[in-house]
């Protein structure tokens, strides 16, 4: 998918198209007030205050029509420069523009662009004439909070996209349409990976047999990696006393996003939203020497969060999920090495899954936000500088984002952009000086003095659920063999003559821990073969006289039409090799 924001010429075109949109809206709704109309990865949008008017589908068609009309008129787009006071005078009717102008420095050159009867404050640049803005489409619309703050008024946001040629536009729209085919919710249904039902509850998907196989493989995969690196796995309960979360501080920060508390026999419980406090308590269970550290506690942990209804999205974001969680207790001297170990693990895993399209973010606190962040500037400065130093030493490239830290500490987030929808965080590693102190954790250092450890919180696969969603979308449902619910589909040519041999092959494959499906229904070979293709099964065997007499198999691999005949032994070792080496 093309990134319009990164294409200079398309950016100018799309931004100009945002002005065209604004002009059309102004024609149809003379009282409209305009906030901003930036270029984004997939085109442009404009945030507009239409008073009490809410945009609907019909309005969009009308606006599009008006845009076409203006474009046909072919007015030139003319730049003017003006002083701050002139600008304030010119846009005095529009409080949003006044806000923008007031935020500019006094000596900044302010410019605006005029096309026909419409002038908008803008830095530019723009295309020469609206005539060039022919091949556009308004793609979606929604409410959007002014300045991105839910406490503010909701403006109307209209999205669109513009290209130089009709062909480019059509191609783009087609791509957009075909991207929907790889949506994990569609694939999850088609391939019987997960389901959900109102009676079970909103945002509570259930894994079907196929999905649970993938789940178990991922669980097994990451635990093996972790074991080799000295992690110890634990199991802790999904319900916890409210006091536990009050101690950690999560209750104050997140009680609105937790399932409400339950009272039983005078005790108050919640479904746990995360596992940090449990792991803190496990560390505290015995007295640790500095020689024990790092202590790496890990858990594939079931968590429950009362996510906003509008945030739910298949298994990418539900109200129950399984975190690939770990808390690593270290001495201050060990932070760097241990952090590097986590980063190495993340990229080792990404290599196994062929994940190359990611970017790293150093998420810092917003020093202005005294509400969210634990109020200890010294602690924060130490943690942030420490983490930045570690990242620089490790030598990974990252961008810094203010206000993205956890309430207890800064973190490294590894974000990916899935084929469908917005970027999200897949892996994270957080540096925490805060919770160990709150839980009064101690280890005895060399000098015999009890000291507070530092904790790294980390998740590699993030949540198993989200990771599966990501994999499904990236692979279009054609998972690597080791994750495939059915690895080999076996079709006897004729049940009467070949079922015995098919059974023999099936048994041998099962003995080699290969997941098979023996399709012994009374159907034509072509019919059964087609089903294997639709279910995206990687290997299909067709077994007839030829194979039976020579102890061979004839296989066809997903995505090819080639038929290959090899000995049964060769086939089994080939499959085993592909599984073991996660090809």
Partner RNA sequence: GCCGAAUUAGUAUAGUGGUAGAACAGAUCCAUGGUAAGGAUCAAAUGCAAGUUCGAUUCUUGCAUUCGGCACCA
Residue numbers 551-570 binding RNA by CB under 7 A: 554, 556, 561, 563
Specify the long-range contacts of residues 422-425, CB closer than 8 Å, at least 24 apart.
424/316, 424/466, 425/462
From 47, 183, 325, 465, active-site residue: 325
Report how far Cα 194 is from the mean position of its chain's Cα atoms.
18
Q: Which residues 363-392 are close enough to bind RNA by CB under 7 A?
A: 372
CA–CA gap between residue 357 and residue 260 (Å, rounded): 38
Q: Please, which residue, 54 or 65, has the CB nearer to RNA? A: 54
Considering only CA atoms, which of 455, 460, 406 is closest in space to residue 435?
455
**Mask 48-67, x = binds RNA (CB under 7 A)?**
------xxxx----------
* C-alpha–C-alpha distance, residues 400 and 472, integer Å: 29
- Choose the catalytic residue: 305, 320, 466, 536: 305
Q: Any contact of residue 430 with RNA (CB under 7 A)?
A: yes
Nearer CB in complex with RNA: 203/341: 203
Cα(103)–Cα(492) distance, integer angstroms:
74
Scan for tokens 């501080």, then name that residue: 249
Reply yes or no on whether 557 is catalytic: no
170: which residues sit within 8 A by CB, 6+ positions away?
none
DSSP 88-155: HHHTTT-HHHHHHHHTS-TTSPEEEEEETTEEEE------SBGGG--EEEEEEEEEEEGGG-TTSPEE
Answer for the pair 547, 554: CB distance below 8 angstroms, yes or no. Answer: yes
Helix, strand or coil, per DSSP, at residue 327 = strand
Q: In the bound complex, what is the minimum distance in angstroms from residue 295's beta carbon to RNA?
A: 19
Smallest gap from Cβ 320 to RNA, in A, equals 12
Q: Which is closer to RNA, CB of 1 or CB of 580?
A: 1
**142 belongs to the binding site for RNA (CB under 7 A):** yes
Q: Is 93 in the site for RNA (CB under 7 A)?
A: no
Catalytic residue selected from 323, 334, 430, 487: 323
Stretch that binds RNA, among 215-223, 252-260, 481-489, 573-581 (CB under 7 A): 252-260
- Shortest distance in whole angstroms from residue 304 CB to RNA: 9
Query: Are 305 and 257 contacting, i.e. CB atoms less than 8 angstroms apart?
Result: yes
User: Applying CB under 7 A, does 116 fall inside the site for RNA?
Assistant: no
How near is the Cβ of 340 to RNA at its closest, in Å? 21
| Catalytic hit among 327, 458, 515, 528 | 327
Q: In the range 497-526, which residues lie near RNA by CB under 7 A?
A: 497, 522-526
Nearest to 345 by CA among 290, 412, 423, 292: 412
Task: Name which of 244 and 390 has its Cβ closer to RNA.
Answer: 244
Residues in 297-316 at the binding interface with RNA, rule: CB under 7 A: 305, 307-314
Contact 310, 319 (CB under 8 A): no
- Which window, 373-381, 394-402, 423-431, 503-511, contacts RNA (CB under 7 A)? 423-431
Positive or negative: CA dihedral 521, 524, 528, 534:
negative
Residue 523 per-residue DSSP state: S
Strands (E), 423-536: 424-432, 443-444, 450-451, 454-463, 488-492, 516-518
Per-residue contact string for residues 198-227; x = within reach of RNA by CB under 7 A? x---xx------------------------
Min separation Cβ 342 and RNA, Å: 14
Per the annotation, the verdict on 530 as an active-site residue is no
Determine whether 323 is an active site residue: yes
Q: Pick the catalytic residue: 411, 498, 536, 548?
A: 411
Residue 385: CB atoms within 10 A of its CB come to 11
Nearest distance from C-beta of residue 243 to RNA, angstroms:
15
Nearest to 23 by CA among 57, 46, 51: 46
Does 276 participate in catalysis according to the annotation? yes
CB of residue 90 vs RNA: minimum separation in angstroms? 28
Q: Does 327 bind RNA (CB under 7 A)?
A: no
For the segment 182-201, give every residue that binds RNA (CB under 7 A): 183, 185, 189-190, 196, 198
Minimal distance in Å, beta carbon 86 to RNA? 32
Q: Which residues are catalytic?
A: 276, 305, 323, 325, 327, 411, 457
């Amino acid at each position: 998918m093309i990134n319009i924001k990164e294409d200079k010429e398309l950016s100018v075109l799309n931004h100009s198209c945002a002005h065209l949109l604004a002009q059309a809206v102004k024609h149809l709704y003379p009282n409209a007030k305009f906030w901003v109309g930036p270029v984004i990865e997939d085109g442009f949008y404009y945030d507009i205050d239409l008073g009490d008017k809410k945009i609907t589908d019909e309005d969009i068609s009308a606006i599009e029509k008006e845009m076409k009309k203006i474009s046909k008129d072919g007015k030139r787009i003319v730049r003017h420069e003006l002083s701050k006071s002139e600008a304030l005078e010119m846009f005095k009717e529009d409080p949003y523009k006044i806000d923008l102008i007031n935020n500019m420095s006094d000596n900044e050159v302010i410019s605006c662009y005029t096309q026909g009867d419409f002038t908008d404050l803008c830095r530019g640049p723009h295309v020469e004439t609206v005539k060039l803005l022919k091949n556009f489409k308004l793609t979606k619309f929604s409410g959007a909070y002014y300045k991105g703050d839910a406490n503010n008024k909701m403006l109307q946001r209209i999205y669109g996209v513009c290209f130089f040629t009709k062909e480019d536009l059509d191609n783009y729209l087609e791509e957009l349409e075909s991207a929907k085919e790889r949506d994990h919710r569609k694939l999850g249904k088609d391939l019987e990976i997960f389901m959900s039902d109102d009676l079970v509850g909103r945002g509570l998907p259930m894994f079907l047999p196929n999905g649970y196989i993938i789940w178990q493989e991922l669980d097994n995969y990451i635990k093996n990696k972790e074991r080799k690196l000295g992690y110890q796995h634990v199991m802790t309960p999904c319900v916890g006393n409210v006091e536990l979360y009050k101690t950690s501080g999560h209750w104050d920060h997140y009680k609105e996003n937790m399932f409400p508390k339950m009272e039983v026999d005078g005790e108050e419980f919640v479904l746990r939203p995360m596992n940090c406090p449990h792991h803190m308590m496990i560390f505290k269970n015995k007295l640790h020497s500095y020689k024990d550290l790092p202590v790496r506690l890990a858990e594939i942990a079931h968590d429950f969060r009362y996510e906003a209804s509008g945030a739910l999205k298949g298994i990418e974001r539900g109200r129950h999920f399984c975190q690939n969680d770990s808390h690593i207790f270290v001495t201050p001297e060990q932070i760097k090495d241990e952090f590097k170990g986590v980063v190495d693990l993340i990229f080792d895993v990404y290599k196994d899954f062929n994940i190359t399209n990611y970017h790293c973010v150093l998420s810092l606190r917003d020093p202005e936000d005294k509400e969210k962040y634990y109020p200890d500037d010294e602690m924060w400065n130490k943690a942030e500088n420490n983490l930045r130093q570690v990242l620089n030493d490790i030598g990974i490239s990252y961008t810094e984002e203010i206000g993205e830290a956890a309430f207890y500490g800064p973190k490294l987030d590894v974000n990916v952009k899935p084929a469908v929808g917005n970027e999200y965080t897949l892996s994270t590693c957080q540096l925490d000086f805060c919770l160990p102190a709150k839980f009064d954790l101690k280890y005895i250092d060399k000098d015999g003095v009890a000291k507070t450890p530092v904790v790294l919180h980390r998740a590699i696969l993030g949540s198993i659920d989200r990771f599966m969603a990501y994999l499904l979308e990236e692979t279009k449902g054609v998972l690597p063999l080791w994750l495939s619910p059915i690895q080999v589909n076996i079709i006897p040519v004729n049940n009467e003559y070949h079922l015995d041999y098919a059974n023999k092959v099936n048994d041998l494959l099962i003995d080699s821990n290969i997941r098979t499906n023996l399709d012994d229904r009374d159907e034509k070979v072509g019919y059964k073969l087609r089903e294997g293709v639709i279910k995206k099964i990687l290997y299909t065997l067709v077994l007839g006289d030829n194979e039976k007499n020579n102890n061979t198999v004839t296989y066809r691999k997903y995505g090819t039409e080639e038929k290959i005949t090899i000995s049964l032994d060769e086939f089994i070792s080939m499959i085993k090799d592909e599984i073991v080496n996660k090809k």
